[in-house]
Amino acid sequence: MRISLNVTNYSWPSEIGSSLGAVARAADEAGVDTVWVSDHLLQADPTSSPEKEMLEAYTTLGYLAASTRRVRLGTMVTATTYRAPALLVKAVTTVDVLSGGRAWLGIGSGYHEKEAADFGLDLPESKSVRFERLDETLRLALRMWAGDDSAFAERHYRLAQPVNNPSSVRRPHPPILIGGMGEKKTLRLVARYGDACNLPDIPDGGATVTRKLEVLARHCADVGRPYEEIEKTLSTRWLPDEPAASFAERCARYAEWGIGHVVLITSGPWTAESVGTLGTAIAAL
């Protein structure tokens, strides 16, 4: 079982840069697989409030690349319409190059209407259009990482010569995680393009998660993709006072559902101390 943490809250009582760096270095030592960051401009942690501290995601990942040596790095997740697709590919590629091949592309169709309006970001009202743009962005990313700089002309995006040099260190490309659990569109995109999916830990004894994974398996069969190739991740809460044995039991239950990678969020900001406690729990798995 892989264990990752998601930095959703930056409201440390001390200086943000040093606090974040300490968390990242602690994650490196604790056996954490990936340090994820939320890609929002408004604070999106439900235990906080929108006007609280929030850092831009890809600048933050660059800082984390320089602060760590082992953990993988990615967003959980980027709304595809917030950045021009080629710029997004270049950003992820840059993180991958500077980190020595540790970047993810974490991506989704987008949902945060207030954030888009507050910052003048492009978020189409039509969900169908959002998914069309997500599909085009994924296809463009794979072309650019394959070294194909020929013209790209689709309904929403037109690029004359999207050169991506240097290309990613990770070959054939940084792994792609597609967030969301929509059965008709999101999970089908995972089957077609994704290396990982991300599902929420809904408190129903695993009924929703197992159903969604069954749907994903059917989509994989439809497109001729081995279901086992896709990493199944689950976002859930980390409770710092939870005994290691209890956490191990939770992870075993998630594995029974078909999950192989747990992404932990916490109320309030992560600290080096809480990551150290998590490291003890990871070592007990």
List per-residue pLDDT tens for the chain, 285 residues long. Answer: 999 999 999 999 999 999 999 999 999 999 999 999 999 999 878 888 989 999 999 999 999 999 999 999 999 999 998 999 999 999 999 999 999 999 999 999 999 999 999 999 999 999 999 999 999 999 999 999 999 999 999 999 999 999 999 999 999 999 999 999 999 999 999 999 999 999 999 999 999 999 999 999 999 999 999 999 999 999 999 988 899 999 999 999 999 999 999 999 998 999 999 999 999 999 999
Alpha helices in the chain (DSSP H): 16-30, 57-67, 85-99, 113-119, 127-145, 186-193, 207-223, 244-257, 272-283
Number of C-alpha atoms within 13 angstroms, CB side, residue 50?
A: 8
Alpha helices in 31-73 (DSSP H): 57-67
What is the model's pTM? 0.97
**Does the domain formed by 2-283 have CATH 3.20.20.30?**
yes
How far apart, in whole angstroms, are the C-alpha atoms of residue 71 and residue 93? 16
Tokens at 211, concatenated:
């159903």
